[in-house]
Amino acid sequence: MNDVSELFKESPIRTLARTSKWLTIYLRAKEIGSIKLFENQSDFTQLQITFLQYLENISSLYFDLSLGEEFISDEVIVDWLRSECYLLYKRKKKEEKKLKKNIPDNKSNDSIVFVSKRK
């Protein structure tokens, strides 16, 4: 692999997951439940798991686009590298929000106050 562009080439499985046919089947299978994507319904291969992850990621991108989220556009969705960057940004933003939510509020009456014992 001497050519650097090979490093940034989209994988065939990701390209397949990006097609409207498979994305539609995936979304309907989630919604209805009786549609099967694969012949096997359990013990998925690593390739099947990867395919499902790509389908979920692409579905998430289109959902965010429909909500008008910041930094997402059709151009980002069709570029796999930019879409991965967006998903990392979104995950980081979610983690920061979660951490912020877990920071205790010192103004609360539920907090414990420790007082040193005087002699």
Tokens 């409207």 appear where?
20
Q: Is residue 83 part of a domain?
A: yes
Q: What is the pLDDT of residues 42-81, one digit of tens each?
A: 899 999 999 999 999 999 999 999 999 999 999 999 998 9
Domain range for 14 is 10-102
Q: Is the pTM of this model over 0.85?
A: no
Q: Is residue 67 part of a domain?
A: yes
Q: How many domains does the chain have?
A: 1
Q: Is residue 114 part of a domain?
A: no
Contact between 87 and 95 (Cβ < 8 Å): no
Cβ partners under 8 Å of residue 35, min gap 6? 25, 28, 29
Other Cβ atoms within 10 Å of 53 Cβ, number: 13
Q: Is residue 1 part of a domain?
A: no
User: Residue 106 — pLDDT band, cuts 50, 70, 90?
Assistant: low
Alpha-carbon torsion, ordered 63, 56, 82, 16, to 10 deg: -120
State both tokens at 79.
């570029």
Q: Is residue 117 part of a domain?
A: no
Q: Is residue 113 part of a domain?
A: no
